[in-house]
Amino acid sequence: MWAIIKKEFKSYFLSPIGYVVVGILLLVSSIFFYLTSVQTMSVDLSSLYYYMALYGLIIVAPILTMRMFAEERKTGTEQLLLTSPISITKIVFGKLIGALGVIIITLLISFGYYAIVSFFAKTSIIPVLTSMLGFILISTAAISVGMLASSITENQIISAVITIAFLLMSLFLENISTIFTKLSIINFYNKFPSGIVSLTEVAGLVSFSFVFIALTILVMNRRRVSH
Amino acid sequence: MIEVKNVTKKYGNFTAVNNISFTVNDGEVVGLLGPNGAGKSTTMNMITSFIEQTEGTIEINGYDTIKKTKQAKKQIGYMPENVPLYPELTVKEFVTYMAELKLVARAKRKENVQEVLKETGLEEVQNKIIKNLSRGYKQRVSMAGALVGNPEVLILDEPTVGLDPKQIIEIRSLIKNLGKKHTVIVSSHILSEISQVCERVIILNKGKIVAIDTPANLEEKTKEQNILYLTVEDPEEKMSSVQSKIKDIKEISMVKDNEDGTKQYKVISEAQKDVRKNLFEVLPKEGITIFELKKAEASLEDAFIKLVETTEEKQESKKQKEDKNKQESKDEKKEKKQKEKANKQEEKEQKKKEKEENKDKGGKK
């Protein structure tokens, strides 16, 4: 599995995709750093991560995931992967972790905001760390949605559109009925920014991701029979 | 060793591979031959467990591809059709990645990758990005990907498509060398290639095995007549009379006039009979000088086309028969229905008559 993680991570930065993703996330977070910290003279960085999760991920998740399986299928490299002795579960997790690597790079860079803030005033690092932990979990959830979308098509654009549609719709659907509240991953990211790791939120994000990862594995396995 | 037993692959109603069985022994190079859409790639995809068969079993060195997938996959090096590669990686990175995917131990990995690069002649370009390589090199990179990890079984799907003649010869000799250490299945629709490289040929058509044999035997089996090409100087135009002097000749026809006094003829005789000796005896007596005499080799191409065509004919005639039967049965049904109708009408009429009679009787009473 390590081989796949390494290769996926490397591929992101051998193509512009990795840089674009890091760039967009940093742009979004910088804008909200200005709006929520600089303008209001606040040392609170929590809303920065909240908005990065709310707006950043909707743009970034489809970019990160659209090629995962769709491109491999289109170019035929899928055959190399699926005829290797590595199991489909490991392939799926390898790709997921590879994509998370790009997110983690962004989070590491975002320590810069903390450095800037702590230069001017004394501030606790704990909310920043929990925000980051939460951000990794919510990214996992968004990426697993995109992964499923990528596994059902060989067209990257369709994959991206499905992912954006799902992430956007889930934001609005809860206004129609509260049944849809749990579909929207941002609802599981309320307590992390204030420095609290809530079991409900962790369990919510993990189980949300689990469902989509399991579905992706199912789709990939199913393709062996119906391909 | 590869054992394919009664394997069928269906896509909905379409049967891509229909009940095929064959074995490939250790260290054997076997060619999988067939026109486009014959089921070659499907068969290979099933052997490499890329897809699952609908029915039947496949065993690679004793490992079932469905029950022991991981073990079975470990035995195989696969070069897919259309050489899929990761264009953003360098040659060395790609081959190393393939080695990692094939679970080559870390200690041996570097050494193994270098070995394979050397074997496929890629040492010089190992640090180049695959995107920038020529088609021939890409093909070799794909081959290197299949070879890395020293798999016992190699599956090569159309390894020479799109190469120039020199590259084809190189790849061919590479495959020949590989056959010494590995069990190899090569697919192709180029027949000369198969006959040079393979010890046995499996010919597929429309998902069925048409023939399994050595290339030589296939040629022999399907040869019907002996063809000789004869270039002669024939000042007295006596060539046409030769046929009557040698009994075994079935036909003599002129191919072309070289306009330097010589002419080329085509001499056809039956497959078992060789008339070359007779020609050398008879022609000088007629005042004809032989410039050149050569035997036309019946090629595997002929064998192939013939086998494929005959199976198609069979299938067609079967279909026609089935259609006829269907029509006949339809006709019969129609007749039956008509008869039944007629019977019913008769019955009705009879009943009416009876009723009327009864009425009459009643009236009389």
Residue B322 has pLDDT above 80, yes or no: no
Pairing of strands B225-233, B262-270: antiparallel
Query: Taking the CB of residue B335, how many other CB atoms lie within 10 A of it?
Result: 10
Indicate whether B42 and B116 sit together in one domain. Answer: yes
Averaged pLDDT for residues A68-77: 92
A3:B52 CB<8 A: no
**Residue B329 domain flag:** no
Indicate whether B85 and B142 sit together in one domain. Answer: yes
Residue B68 has pLDDT above 70, yes or no: yes
> Could you tell me which of B171, B4, B146 has the C-alpha nearest to residue B76?
B146
Residue B365 has pLDDT above 50, yes or no: no
**Residue B302 domain flag:** no
**Quick check: B155 and B47 in contact, CB under 8 A?**
yes
Q: Report chain A's C-alpha Rg in angstroms.
A: 18
Task: Report the pLDDT value the prediction gives residue B363, as an integer from 0 to 100.
Answer: 47
Task: Report the pLDDT value the prediction gives residue B285, as an integer from 0 to 100.
Answer: 83
B102:A83 CB<8 A: no
- Please list every residue in chain A whose beta carbon sits closer than 8 Å to the beta carbon of residue B185: none
> Which of B203, B221, B239 is the last residue before a domain boundary?
B221
Query: Taking the CB of residue B349, how many other CB atoms lie within 10 A of it?
Result: 10
Residue B83 has pLDDT above 60, yes or no: yes
**Residue B153 corresponds to which tokens in the numbers above?**
């079984």
- Smallest CA–CA distance from A6 into chain B, residue: B97
Amino acid (1-letter code) at residue B251: E
Task: Report the pLDDT value the prediction gives residue B223, as an integer from 0 to 100.
Answer: 66
Q: Which of A3, A76, A83 sits opposite B48 (nearest CB)?
A: A83
Find the domain containing B192 and state its range.
Answer: 2-221
Task: Report the pLDDT value the prediction gives residue B364, as an integer from 0 to 100.
Answer: 47
Q: What is the number of domains present in chain B? A: 2
**CA-CA distance, B71 to B152, in Å (whole number)?**
12
Task: Report the pLDDT value the prediction gives residue B142, as an integer from 0 to 100.
Answer: 92
ipTM: 0.89
**Residue B312 domain flag:** no
Task: Report the pLDDT value the prediction gives residue B73, as an integer from 0 to 100.
Answer: 92
> Which of B276, B295, B314 is the last residue before a domain boundary?
B295
> Could you tell me which of A164, A9, A4, A147 has the C-alpha nearest to residue A65?
A147
Residue B334 has pLDDT above 70, yes or no: no
Indicate whether B187 and B141 sit together in one domain. Answer: yes
A85:B102 CB<8 A: yes
Averaged pLDDT for residues B187-206: 82
**CA-CA distance, B334 to A213, in Å (whole number)?**
59
Indicate whether B14 and B138 sit together in one domain. Answer: yes
**CA-CA distance, B331 to B5, in Å (whole number)?**
41
B362-to-B350, B351, B354, B355 alpha-carbon distances in Å: 18, 16, 12, 10
Share of chain B above pLDDT 90, in %: 29
The string of pLDDT tens digits covering residues A114-173 is 999 988 888 888 989 999 999 999 999 999 999 999 999 989 999 999 999 999 988 888
**Residue B357 domain flag:** no
Residue B236 has pLDDT above 90, yes or no: no
Task: Report the pLDDT value the prediction gives residue A4, as an integer from 0 to 100.
Answer: 94
- Please list every residue in chain A whose beta carbon sits closer than 8 Å to the beta carbon of residue B48: 79, 83
Task: Enumerate the H helices of A34-155 as residue ranges.
Answer: 46-51, 57-65, 70-75, 77-82, 88-109, 111-120, 126-151
Residue spans of the domains in chain A: they are 2-222
Task: Report the pLDDT value the prediction gives residue B119, as an integer from 0 to 100.
Answer: 86
Averaged pLDDT for residues A88-103: 96
Pairing of strands B200-205, B208-213: antiparallel
> Could you tell me which of B55, B59, B20 has the C-alpha nearest to residue B153?
B59
> Which of B266, B295, B324 is the last residue before a domain boundary?
B295
**Residue B60 domain flag:** yes
Task: Report the pLDDT value the prediction gives residue A95, as an integer from 0 to 100.
Answer: 96
A78:B84 CB<8 A: yes
Q: Which of A4, A14, A83 sits opposite B73 (nearest CB)?
A: A83
Interface check B138 vs A, CB under 8 A: no
**CA-CA distance, B280 to B288, in Å (whole number)?**
10
The residue among B278 and A211 whose pLDDT is bigger is A211
**For position B56, which CATH number holds?**
3.40.50.300
**CA-CA distance, B198 to A98, in Å (whole number)?**
43
> Could you tell me which of B155, B146, B201, B196 has the C-alpha nearest to residue B173?
B196
Sheet holding B208-213, edge to edge: B76-79, B153-157, B183-188, B29-33, B200-205, B208-213
Pairing of strands B55-60, B2-11: antiparallel
Query: Taking the CB of residue B6, how many other CB atoms lie within 10 A of it?
Result: 11
Nearest chain B Cα distance for residue A23, angstroms? 21
